[in-house]
Amino acid sequence: MGKEKSLENSEAEVLVDRIYSAKESLVKFGREVFRLSSEFGEVSRLYPDAFKHLDGQHKLFANKGIIHPQMEEFYKASINYVELLQEVNRRAIELSGTQRPNKDI
C-alpha cells in the first residue's frame, strides 16, 4: 500500500508540475503578444501600407474565403484552452487542501 501511495503522489506531482509549466508558457506567450502588439502598432502607424503586399502571399492571410471565420474559431478555442487550464489549476488547489483566503481580510 505504501508503494501505491507513493505512485499516486508521484503522478499528482507530475500533473501539478505540468500545470505550472503550462502557466509559465502562458506568461511567456503573453509577453510575446504584448511585444508583437507594440511593434505592430508602431509599424502600422509608420508604414500603414506595408502589409498590403502580403495579402495572399503569407500563410497568415491564406484561404481568403474563410480567413475571418477561421481566425474567430482559433481565438475562441484558445480562450477555451486557457479557461480549461484555469479550471484544472483551481481543482488542483482545492484537492491540495489549500483554502481560499477570506475576502474580508
Task: Note the pLDDT tens digit of each residue in 74-103.
Answer: 999 999 999 999 999 999 999 999 988 887
- pLDDT, position 63: 84
pTM: 0.79
What sign results for the dihedral spanned by CA atoms 39, 44, 47, 49? Answer: positive
Would the pLDDT of 1 be above 60?
A: no
Task: Note the pLDDT tens digit of each residue in 44-68.
Answer: 999 999 988 888 788 888 888 899 9
The backbone torsions φ and ψ at residue 42, rounded to the nearest 5 degrees and listed phi first, read -70, -50
* DSSP annotation of 58: S
